[in-house]
Amino acid sequence: MDLLLSRRVLWAKSFAYGLGSLVLLSLPIKFWYLFSGQTLSGWDTPGHIVLAKEFAKLIQTGSAAGWSDVWFGGFPIFYFYPPFYYLFVYSLHLLLSINIESAFSISVFITILLLFTAIYSFAKQFLWSIYPKYVRVILGLSSVLFYFNYAGEGLQGTSIVGIVEGTVISSFAHSLILFALVSLDKYRKKIYIPYLVLFVGLTSIIFYTHLLSSVFYSLMLLIYCFEYRHFFFQNIKVFSFALLSVLFLISPVVYNYVCFSEYTSGVFYGYSYPPLLSILGKDVYDSALRAYSNGENLTLVYIVELFSSGRWLSLAAIALLIFHFRKFHSSPRSKFISTILLVFFWLSLDYSLGYIFPNLKIHNYRAFDCFFISFSILFSLSIRTIAGNGKNRLPFFPTIFIVLMIEFYIFINFNPTKYQEYRSPIWHSARSSEELKLYQKLADRLSSLPKGTLVQPEIIRSKSMFGTPHFWLPLLYEAGVRNNLGLTVESSYYSTLVFNWQEFGFANSFRWGTDVDWRENLILHAKRNPDSGYYLDFLLRSGVTHLVGYSPQFHEYIDLHKQRLEIIGSEYPFFITKILPNANLKSIKPIGLIHTELLNSQSEYRYRDFLKISNLLQMYLVNLGYHTKVLKITKKQLDQFETIVPSFSAFILISKEGGLGDESWNQNLKSKKIPSAIIRESQLLLDNQSLPIQTLSELLESTIEIPKSALSQSMPQSYFEERKSDLGELLLDDTGKEYLFVTEENGKYSDGMFASLPSLTGKIYLWGMIISFVFLLSGVFLTKIPYFSFSKTK
C-alpha cells in the first residue's frame, strides 16, 4: 500500500512539475513580440512610450519631475502620475543598451512574470503553505491561468487584456501590492526585521508607481490590520516606526498630491465605463453574436461555444464561490482574501466614493481587477474544497489537473491582441503598406509646420489605425509639433475645457470621462447663434493654430467655416487647416475677474469655479463682438491694484448673492474712471440672458480697441502655480492656461522661454524613489541570506 501511494505521489509530482514547466516555457513563446524591439499596438501603450522617452530626457538632468511641452501645449510631467515604472524602463534601456521602445516591451514581459509570481506567492502564503510543494504548484498555476484567461468586455483595466491595452503600470503595481502583503504576513509569523524592511521598501515603491493602486493598497492594509489587530497593538512601536519611514520616503508623492491635485482635470471613469465586467467571456459572446447575424440561434450557439471553448469553468467558478463563500469567510486562513473580494466587488459596482471625496477617483475596472485576482485565487481553493479523499468527493489530483489542462488550453488559444481588434500586437505589422505610407506622408506634412506649432487633432473612439485617441500621440511627437491633447492622467483642467467646447464643432469626437461637464450651460447660451465658431475662438485663445482630422464630420466642419479654416496641407482623407481669427471681433485688453469673496473674506477664487464662469462670460463677449482674455485676479494683484489697472480694459466683480461692500467697491472703481460691473453667478447660469448682456454691453462701451497682436502674451501652456517667470507674473486665464502679466514698471514682453519650475522638487522626487528602491533591495538581500535567517518564528 505504501509503495502504491508513493508511486501515485511520484506520478502526481511528475505531472505537476511537468505541466508547470510547460506553462512557464509557453510564456516567452506566447509573448514573443515583446522581444521584437518594435513598437507595440494598444490603446494607452503608445502614450506610455512617449512618457518613457520624456522621462529619459528628464532623468539625465537629475530630476524625476519637471515640465514637458509635448502635450496640452505644455504640462507639469510626473507631478500627478508617479514615474517609477518609467525609471524601471530607463534602467532596462541602460543595462541592456536597447532603445526605449524595446525596453518598454521587455518591461511588459517582466510585469507579466511578476504578476504570475506575485499571485502564486500570495496564495501560497495565505492559503496553501500547509500543502506539499507539488500541490501548491498545481493550485497556484490554476489561479494564475484563471486570472490570465480573463476576456471581459474589452476594457483596458483587467489581466492580460489590460496589459495589452496599456494599463501595464497598474498591473505592475498590483504585483508589488501582493508581494508587500506577503512580506508583512511573513513578518507577522516570524518577527524577522528584514521582512519589515522589505515591506517598507515595497510600500514606498507602490506609491511611486501608481496613485490609484496606492489607494487600493492602503485599503487592503486597513483590512489586514483589522484582521490581525491584536498583533498590531502588541507591536505598535515597531509598526509606528515603519509607518513613519514610509511617510518619509513617500513625502514627495504626498506633497505633490496635496499641493497640486487642484490642477488636474479629475478624470472620473465611473461615468463612462460599466461598473462590472463580464466574467463569462465576451469573446464567446462575440462569436455567438456573429453566428446570430448569420441566422443561427444566439442562445444555442453561446452555450455550445461556452463549453467547446472551455470557458464553462468561469460559470463553475461563480457557482463554487457562491456555495463556499460562507466557509471561506469563516476560515482564519481565507478570511482576509475573502474580505478583499467583497470590498473590491463593491468598489467595482459603486463609484459613490468619488462624490464623497471629490479628489478620490475610483476607476471601476481597476477595482474590478483587484476583485478578480481574489476571485481567481479562491476559485482554486474551491476546487480543493470539493475534491479530496472523503466520501462523495471527486478525486483531488485528477480533478485539479483536468481543470488546469483546460485553463492551459484556453490560455494558449486566447489571443488578447486579436480580441482587441488589432491585426497584430506589433504596430507596423498591424498596418497595411498603404496605411504606413499615408502615416509617413502625414508625419512629413506635420513636420513642415513652424517649430512650436500647437496642433489640435480630431479624436474619434476607434481602434483603427487613425482612430484611437493615442494614434496621434506618437505621430505628433515624432513630427516635432506640440499636441493640444494627451494622456488624461497628466492633464490639467485644460483638457476638460477642450471636451466641453468640442461640442460646438465635433460632437462626434471621443471624450474622456471627466467629473466636470459644463456643456449644458454652454449650449444653453448658444441658442442664438449655434454655428458662430465658438470652438475655433476657444482654440485661438488657447494658442492653438492648426487643426488636423479626417472624418466626414471634419470635412463638413471645414466647409461650414471656410472663412475661418485655411487648408494648408492634405493627404486624403486628412486635412491640415490653419485657424484664422474672426475678423468681426474687436480686440480689447484683458478683463480682470474678481470674486467678491476675495474682497470680503480674502478667499481666493477656486480654479474650477473661475474656469466655469469665465468661459460662460467668453460666450457673452463673443456674441457681443469682442475678443479678449479673462484673467483671474488674486490677492497679490489686489494688493497692488493701482499698478495693474493700466494693463486691463475692465474689471468684473462676480458675486454669489450680493455680498457686503460689493456695490461700494464697484462705485469706488467707477469714481476713479475704471470700467467695472457686478454680475451675479446665478444671472450667468439662467436661460434669461438679458440682464448680463445689458450689463456687459454698458461695460464694453467704455473699453478701447487694441491691435489683435496685443493679446499675444497668452501662452499655449497649461497653468501650473509652481511655474515662475523673471519677466512678470503668470496669471490663470479663461482657457486654463498661462498669461504672462507684465506691468509697465516691469518692462515689455519678450518672446522665448520665460517660465520654469523649481528644480529642487524633481531632484527630491528622484532621490525619494532611489532610496525607496534601496530599501526594497536591502529587504530582498537580507531575507535571502542564510546568516540572517534566524528569527522568532510563531
Quickly list DSSP for 329-345: HHSTTTHHHHHHHHHHH
Indicate the SS3 state at residue 275: coil
pLDDT at 112 over 60: yes
> Tell me: the pLDDT tens digits for 262-283?
777 655 444 445 545 678 877 8
DSSP-derived secondary structure for 161-181: HHHHHT-HHHHHHHHHHHHHH
Average pLDDT over residues 500-527: 65
3 state DSSP class of 387: strand
**Alpha helix segments (H runs only) across 448-566:** 472-479, 493-501, 519-524, 534-541, 552-560
Query: Worst-scoring range by mean pLDDT, 103-112, 262-271, 357-366, 618-627?
Result: 262-271
How many angstroms separate the Cα of 152 from the Cα of each of 155, 340, 793? 7, 20, 42
pLDDT category of residue 629 using cuts at 50, 70 and 90: very high
Q: Is 565 helix (H, G, I), strand (E, B) or coil?
A: strand
Q: What is the CA radius of gyration of the chain?
A: 30
The answer to whether 262 and 605 have CB atoms below 8 angstroms apart is no
Write out the three cell numbers for 183.
512580506
For residues 760, 761, 762 and 765, what is the CA-based torsion angle, rounded to 10 degrees?
120
Cβ contacts of residue 603 below 8 Å, gap of 6+? Answer: 595, 597
Percent of the chain as helix, strand, coil, to the nearest 5: 60, 10, 30
Tens of pLDDT, residues 708-737: 776 666 667 888 888 888 778 888 999 888
* 556 burial via Cβ count (<10 Å: 0-12, 13-18, 19+): exposed
In degrees to the nearest 10, what's the CA dihedral of 176, 217, 225, 377?
Answer: -70
Instruction: Cite the DSSP H helix spans in 686-742.
Output: 690-700
pLDDT digits (tens, 9 = 90+) for 144-163: 999 999 887 655 568 888 88
Pairwise CA distance, residues 299 & 508, whole Å: 34
pLDDT above 70 as % of the chain: 84
- Residue 226: how many CB atoms within 10 A of its CB? 11
pLDDT of residue 355: 62
Average pLDDT, the chain: 83
Rounded to an integer, what distance in angstroms lies between the CA atom of residue 258 and that of residue 104?
30
Beta strands in 317-437 (DSSP E): none
Q: How far is CA 116 from the centre of its chain?
A: 24
Q: pLDDT tens digit string along 581-613?
A: 888 889 999 999 988 888 777 777 888 888 888
**Residue 269's pLDDT is what?**
45
The cell for 92 is 532596462
Burial of 14-44, coded b for 16+ CB within 10 Å and e otherwise, reads ebbeebbeebeeebeebbebbeeebbbbbbb
CA distance 527 to 521: 11
- Interval 59-109: pLDDT, tens: 999 999 888 888 888 888 898 889 999 999 999 999 999 999 999 999 999
The grid coordinates listed for 378 are 479562491
Q: What are phi and psi of 741, to 5 degrees?
A: -100, 115
CA distance 597 to 604: 7
Biggest CA-to-CA distance, the chain: 109
DSSP structure class, residue 603 = P
In the prediction, which pLDDT does 488 show?
A: 64
Q: What is the mean pLDDT of residues 541-556?
A: 89
Which is more confident, 12 or 129?
Answer: 129
406/403 Cα distance (integer angstroms): 5
Give the single-character DSSP code of 709: G
Instruction: Give residue 746's pLDDT.
Output: 52
Asked whether 599 and 665 are in contact (CB, 8 A), the reply is yes
Residues 626 and 700: their CA atoms lie apart, in Å, by 8
Confidence of residue 793 (pLDDT cuts 50, 70, 90): very low
Q: Compute the distance between CA of residue 355 and CA of residue 366 in angstroms, rounded to an integer.
A: 18
pLDDT grade, residue 695 (50/70/90)?
Answer: confident
620 vs 240: CA distance, rounded Å: 57
User: Under DSSP, is residue 10 helix (H, G, I), strand (E, B) or coil?
Assistant: helix
- If DSSP states are collapsed to H, E and C, what string results for 421-476? CCCCCECCCCCCHHHHHHHHHHHHHHHCCCCCCEEEECCCCCCCCCCCCCCHHHHH
> How many angstroms separate the CA atoms of 467 and 198, rounded?
44
Residue 89's alpha-carbon distances to 106, 107, 662, in angstroms, are 8, 6, 56
Reply yes or no on whether the pLDDT at 227 is more than 50.
Answer: yes
Q: What is the pLDDT of residues 391-446, one digit of tens each?
A: 666 777 888 888 999 999 999 988 877 766 677 888 888 778 888 888 889 999 99
Distance between alpha carbon 172 and the CA centroid of its chain, in Å? 14
Q: Does the predicted model carry a pTM greater than 0.75? A: yes
Residue 573: asked if its preceding bond is cis (omega within 30°), the reply is yes
